[in-house]
Amino acid sequence: MIVISVVVAIGTDIATYIATRTAADIDTSTAADEMMKIDADAVTEAATEMMKIDAVTEAAIQYAEIAVELAIGLIGIMALWLGIMKIADESGLVDVIAKVVRPITLKLFPDVPPDHPAIGSIVLNMAANVLGLGNAATPLGLKAMQELQELNPDKDTATNAMCTFLVINTSSVQLILPATVIALMGASASQIFLPTILATSMSTIAGVIAVKTLQNWKKFELKQEEKIDG
């Protein structure tokens, strides 16, 4: 990106330079109209002032500064929000959500026995995601993955359950926004809750439909002998 920027800036500069020079040349060669000459000079001057490469240098310096100011500015709201969410975590709100999520999970993972520990980990991972507790969700997700791997007859190929679990995680069902977004958006953050919940629901529904449809496609199907074994 940086390289492209510099190349484009230099390219634009050279183009403007050539353009203004040609304009000036034509002007001096005809040398008829004094007004036109002044115009051409003004153009050349303006072009030197607005050299893209200068703007690029300035942007680099300026944005490096903005980045730090921005991050420092986030500290307060981030601390507030993560503090509150830690209370949510400690008070067992995850378990409340887990009760709601469990029946849905059983429907989504027909290949996993309902009493298998993987179901428990998946449910907790999803509940943590719903609450926007990213830090809590990842270890639970990895644990779920390991437990799903125990059920997997072919250790280097993903099972249907693994693919479904992964897609649900990447499309992230969320009721509560990530702390970073709340910090960045400040007071406007409250307006983002509903659209985010709607958009994330749409993406999760689409993901589940996609994963359930694609798993039976020839290209993605598990090999026949493995099916018999498993």
Of residues 138 through 177, those in contact with another protein by CB under 8 A are 138, 141-142, 145-146, 148-149, 155-158, 162-163, 165-167, 169-172, 174, 176-177
Q: Which of 111, 186, 225, 230 binds another protein (CB under 8 A)?
A: 186
What are the backbone angles phi and psi of residue 219, rounded to the nearest 5°? Answer: -60, -35
Are the CB atoms for 179 and 69 separated by under 8 Å?
A: no
Q: For residue 68, count other CB atoms closer than 10 A to its CB.
A: 10
Q: Which of 19, 46, 68, 100 binds another protein (CB under 8 A)?
A: 68
What is the CA 208 to chain-centroid distance, rounded?
Answer: 19
Q: Which of 22, 153, 198, 225 binds another protein (CB under 8 A)?
A: 198
Residue 31 contacts by C-beta under 8 Å, 6 or more apart in sequence? 37
Cβ closest to another protein, residue 38 vs residue 198: 198
Regarding 127 and contact with another protein (CB under 8 A), the answer is: no
Q: Which of 18, 38, 46, 80 binds another protein (CB under 8 A)?
A: 80
Cβ closest to another protein, residue 41 vs residue 138: 138
Q: Which of 25, 33, 45, 86 binds another protein (CB under 8 A)?
A: 86
DSSP 72-115: HHHHHHHHHHHHHHHHHHHTTHHHHHHHHHHHHHHHH-TTS-TT
Regarding 121 and contact with another protein (CB under 8 A), the answer is: no
Are the CB atoms for 131 and 85 separated by under 8 Å?
A: yes
Q: From the CB of 56, what's the least distance to another protein, in Å?
A: 5
Cβ closest to another protein, residue 12 vs residue 44: 12
Q: From the CB of 35, what's the least distance to another protein, in Å?
A: 30
Regarding 100 and contact with another protein (CB under 8 A), the answer is: no
CA dihedral 33, 38, 42, 44 (to 10 degrees): 60
Query: In the chain, what is the straight-line distance between the N-terminal and C-terminal CA atoms, in Å?
Result: 48
The residue behind tokens 């907790």 is 124
Regarding 192 and contact with another protein (CB under 8 A), the answer is: yes
What is the rounded distance in angstroms from the CA atom of residue 25 to the CA atom of residue 205? 64
Q: Which of 82, 104, 106, 151 binds another protein (CB under 8 A)?
A: 82
Residues in region 7-66 near another protein by CB under 8 A: 8-9, 12, 52, 55-56, 58-60, 62-64, 66
